[in-house]
Amino acid sequence: MKTSAKTPRLALAVAIAALLPAGAHAVDIGTLHCNDVNGVPLQNNQVVTVRGITTGTYPTGTATRLFIQDATGGINIFGTPQYCGAMGEELEVTGTVIHFNGLVELSSTATLPLSVTLLSSGNPQPAPVVQTPLQMNNSYQGDNCEPNESRLVRVGPVYVRTATGGVPTGTYSAQTNYMLISTGPDSLTNNCIMRVVQTTNPCGILNPVVGQPIIASCAFNVTGIVQQFDSTAPHTTGYQLTPRAPADLQILPGCVLAPAPVIAYSLATNNIRIGFNVELNAADAQTTSHYSLSTFQVITAAVYDNTSKSVTLTIGTPLVPSVTPHVVSMSGIRSNLLVAMDGVQTIDLIGGISTIPFIQTPVSPTNDRSRVENQQVTLRGIVTETTLVDFPSTIAGFYMQQAGTTDYAGIFVFTPPFMPNRGDDVLVSGQVVEFLSGTEYWTEISSIDHMQVVATGQPPVTPINVVPANLTGVENDADAERFESSLVKLSGVTTLTTASFGEPFEVAAGLAGPDVVPVDDLAIEESAYAPWRGDVVDVIGIVRFSASPPLRRLQPRNWSEPPTGDIHVISKTNTSDVPPSVVRRFLAQNEPNPFNPMTRISYAIEIPGRASLRVYDLQGRLVATLLDADAKAGPGFVEWNGRDSHGRQVPTGVYVYRLTSADGELSRKMVMLK
């Protein structure tokens, strides 16, 4: 229900102050986009107050990036604190006008954070301004105003000229996807660039146009917020449109789509799921005679799911993965509007459940690319580590491994739809891709179409025993390729590098080398081992790709002693600079993890004295105190029953446990899973 602006204003948690700073004054948004002859906003660095209706919210990290609009124009609000409002809210915003690479923003500064006050909600969205691609690209006008910037605009009717990858027909899905649009299907003039923003923000207002068809011959309207697509270029590059939801890309009437397959993959050894571009006539879709396989297996059933626009074919005999893809042919299928499929359509895939060695085995000893590169595969394995837990990284993904296999056993899954836990048994369907750096190809599974956790808490994968020579050599070394993305163990190697706690170091078979393996430093538990030249250690880790030389590195998942840690010190070098007892201090990963309801936490203390072990939630709030007493030097353990200090069972989630003693602090994460 819309609230009256005359009622007392609701000062949100993000409102900084009720009083405006000296010099702040209310202005129309449109005036902020009118510049002087040198292209500098007249109001640059001045504090102003504007009122407008929210057209989109796109937080980045802890900061706010939202768009508001009044009758005169729109503006981008950027700064802290984060504000997760809904579209249609009337806001009053006070901030500083900033000219950022040609983009006018209302922003926070070091001395003046943004003030955002909600006046009313449930307001109708402003009507999009109708523009042509030419008007979009000429938004930097000679009259010193930029009327389209940060405004809600509709462009259409337009046609696709080029989509990502150069294919003008397909499905719009990823953050980096874009397409050129023009005023006619055969025209390359009057183009503008449009990008889609993924839902990687906590507010979830700007959504990608996932699954929307991109058909070169179909006219459509596209609605979105106008942004610059190249903020560093001069005033000649134009703007992009950012759609906010699937409904913002509207195919116009008269474009009748014929059924066509867009994706195919297996979920079991005896089935194939085919996704289509449109809804199908169920009777046609479920007629088995409309499908055939290049390998001549009998199709015994076809089940259509209208929600996913997919057909699952059941095959009479198990499908065996082969480097020659299975080709599914289909014909005689009509859409729900009874539009017939255009002749015989085909789509290929690696059918059945592939093993990781099948995918990882390279073309040849001199070509380390997968034999099934670019093919759609389904595989299954045990998660050995994720990049967002012990490997802090902006690259989301996880490593999985075929238990009991010693060659080509591991693989990296890039940007999965959700993040599993270490020890999960996971089934994944996606595309085999090769990431190139130098002459090294790193095999990954990308563009995930299906993923499910088959079982949790599986026995940990046994590391593959290797020697340093197995992990070294040229970038595309055939021997090292066998252990790409695998969990391996180096036994009795010698450290070559002196470093502080948790810093990277190098190991070899002895101080003389010659095969040197770099041990990386990205694990979060970085305070259990300080390497010293001459130490003899066992090291467990993932053979991981790095963007900087050396490209191949060994990545421990944590630094504590076994059984839960990945580094075991066999002997310390007799160097007076290093306390001989340094390896006694550790905080182990809780066992089991995830847990419900009991778990055990082992630790060791070097210096006797007061020690505590406390559990916190991810907001830093104290949940439970497991230890707070004088402690002797040496090992110990505590058990936690999953209850807080008041005896209440804690909810499912990630918790941090922290050991504090005279030695310092050590922390780890654990998962309560109900």
Q: Is 6 a member of any domain? A: no
pLDDT band for 310, please (50, 70, 90 cuts). very high
- Claim to verify: residue 406 and residue 338 sit in the same structural domain: no
- Claim to verify: residue 401 and residue 508 sit in the same structural domain: yes
Q: Is 2 a member of any domain? A: no
Number of independent structural domains in the chain? 5
Residue 39 and residue 187 in contact, taking contact as beta carbons nearer than 8 Å: no
Residue 515 and residue 509 in contact, taking contact as beta carbons nearer than 8 Å: yes
CA distance 405 to 358: 11
Q: Domain containing 158: what range?
A: 129-251
DSSP one-letter string for 1-36: -PPPTTSPPB--TT---SSPPTT-EE--GGGGGBB-
CA distance 188 to 184: 8
Residue 355 and residue 299 in contact, taking contact as beta carbons nearer than 8 Å: no
Cα dist from 495 to 491, 499, 539, 552, 576, whole Å: 12, 10, 10, 17, 17
Instruction: Indicate the residue among 550, 580, 610 that finishes a domain.
Output: 580
- Claim to verify: residue 633 and residue 573 sit in the same structural domain: no
pLDDT at 524: 62
- The DSSP 8-state label assigned to residue 284 in this structure reads H
Sign of CA dihedral 270, 273, 274, 278: positive
pLDDT band for 228, please (50, 70, 90 cuts). low
pLDDT over 70 at 503, yes or no: yes
- The DSSP 8-state label assigned to residue 302 in this structure reads E
Q: Is 590 a member of any domain? A: yes
Instruction: Indicate the residue among 58, 87, 120 that finishes a domain.
Output: 120
- Claim to verify: residue 266 and residue 337 sit in the same structural domain: yes
pLDDT band for 184, please (50, 70, 90 cuts). low
Q: Is 272 a member of any domain? A: yes
Q: Is 19 a member of any domain? A: no
The two structure tokens encoding residue 21: 């700073």
- Claim to verify: residue 160 and residue 228 sit in the same structural domain: yes
- Claim to verify: residue 65 and residue 154 sit in the same structural domain: no
- Claim to verify: residue 304 and residue 446 sit in the same structural domain: no
Q: Is 68 a member of any domain? A: yes
Q: Is 372 a member of any domain? A: no
- Claim to verify: residue 207 and residue 244 sit in the same structural domain: yes
* Digit-coded pLDDT (tens) for 638-660: 999 999 888 888 888 888 898 99
pLDDT over 60 at 40, yes or no: no
Assign residue 240 the CATH number of its domain.
2.40.50
- Claim to verify: residue 48 and residue 194 sit in the same structural domain: no
pLDDT band for 203, please (50, 70, 90 cuts). low
The number of residues in the chain equals 674
- Claim to verify: residue 521 and residue 388 sit in the same structural domain: yes
- The DSSP 8-state label assigned to residue 340 in this structure reads B
Q: What is the dihedral of CA 446, 447, 452, 453, to 10 degrees?
A: 30
Assign residue 625 the CATH number of its domain.
2.60.40.4070
CA distance 412 to 290: 37
Residue 260's nearest CA partner among 206, 339, 195, 319 is: 339
Residue 485 and residue 410 in contact, taking contact as beta carbons nearer than 8 Å: yes
- Claim to verify: residue 97 and residue 143 sit in the same structural domain: no
Assign residue 404 the CATH number of its domain.
2.40.50.140
pLDDT at 617: 87
pLDDT at 411: 97
CA distance 28 to 48: 10
Q: Is 644 a member of any domain? A: yes
pLDDT band for 109, please (50, 70, 90 cuts). confident
* Digit-coded pLDDT (tens) for 592-635: 888 888 888 888 787 888 999 999 988 778 999 999 999 887 77
Instruction: Indicate the residue among 120, 137, 166 that finishes a domain.
Output: 120
- Claim to verify: residue 463 and residue 592 sit in the same structural domain: no
CA distance 659 to 202: 31
